[in-house]
Amino acid sequence: MVNKDFIAPIMQKALANYGIKMVCHFDRLHFYTDTRTHKDKLGALIALNEKNTCKFKALSHHKHLDKKVEIFQPSYETLRSLKELVTGDYAINYIEFAIDFLVPDKKTLRQLQHFFDKHLFFNRKPKSAIESEFHFKLAGKAGSVCKCKKTCICQTRYFTPADDKVRLVMYSDKPTKTDNTTASVHIEKRFAGIKELKELGLYTFSNIIDINLEQFWSHHLDLRTPNLTALGKLNRFKRDTGRVASNKRGKKEWSSITCLQSYLRNNSHSASAFKRICTEPALKKALKTVFES
C-alpha cells in the first residue's frame, strides 16, 4: 500500500547513501502574553539565543496581550520551560518548521539543491481568482549578483508571496542552524496568524511539544515527478496525440525543466501531470538521476 504522504525515514535512509544527513527542528516561534507573565521571568529564556527578544507590543484585537516574545531555534526543553514560565494568557501567532539536509561537500550541496529545484512542489491557496496557485521568486541579498555556473546556491527560493499566511522557503547559502558549521539545504514551512495555527491544532505550547517533526515533514515535504505521457499530452503546442508521441514530448519537456515550481508558475495547466514521490523505488530513481548521471 502506498502512503500518500512522503515517508521521512525512507528519505533519510536514501540520502545517507550520498553522505547526506537530515535534521528536523523548530526554527522560530512568536507568541504574545499578558502582564501575569513578568518580563523578568523570561530573562533566562531570552538569553539562550542572541536573536531572542521580548518587547512591549500589544497583539491586534487582543490588547491585554501586551508582550511579544520571539524565540529562535527553540529546543523541546525550551518549549517545555515555557509551560512553566508563561503563567498568564498567551497566543501563539507564528511558527517556522525547518528541515536541514547536511552535506559533506560543495559538489553534493549543488547536486542536492538541483534535486530539490527539480522536484519540490508547493500549491498555495490564492487570495483571489486571478492569482496563481504557483508562485516562485529567486532572490539574493540586495545588490548581489548570482555567479553560480549551473545550479544557484547563493539565492533564496520563495514559493509564496511574503504576505501569505502559509509560506515555503528554501536556501543553501548558509550553514545549518543546528551546528552553524555544516553546509546544508534548508527548507522552512512558515505559518502566520492565530487562526491558521489553530486550524493546525497549534494553539498551546503542549500542542507544539507533542509534534513529531518527522511526521510533520512526511506530510508537508511534497516532492513530485512527472507522468511523461500526461505531461506531453498537456503541452499547449502538441500536434500528434498518440501515446508514443506524447511520451516523447513529455521527456523533452521534463529534460528542459530545471526548477519545477518556476515551470508551474507559467504552466499551471500541467500540474496534474506531476505525481507525488511516496515510495522508496521512486525516490531512489529520482536521486540516482541527479547524483549518478
* Burial (CB count within 10 angstroms: exposed 0-12, middle 13-18, buried 19+), residue 212: exposed
Average pLDDT over residues 197-214: 92
Per-residue pLDDT of 224-258, as tens digits, reads 999 999 999 887 666 667 889 899 999 999 999 99
Per-residue pLDDT of 115-161, as tens digits, reads 999 999 999 988 887 788 999 999 988 778 888 888 999 999 999 99
Residue 221's pLDDT is: 93
H/E run at residue 193: none
Residue 2's pLDDT is: 44
Write the CB contacts of 210 (distance below 8 Å, at least 6 apart in sequence).
none
Give the gyration radius of the chain's Cα atoms.
21
The amino acid at 105:
D
Domain boundaries, the chain: 21-222, 225-276
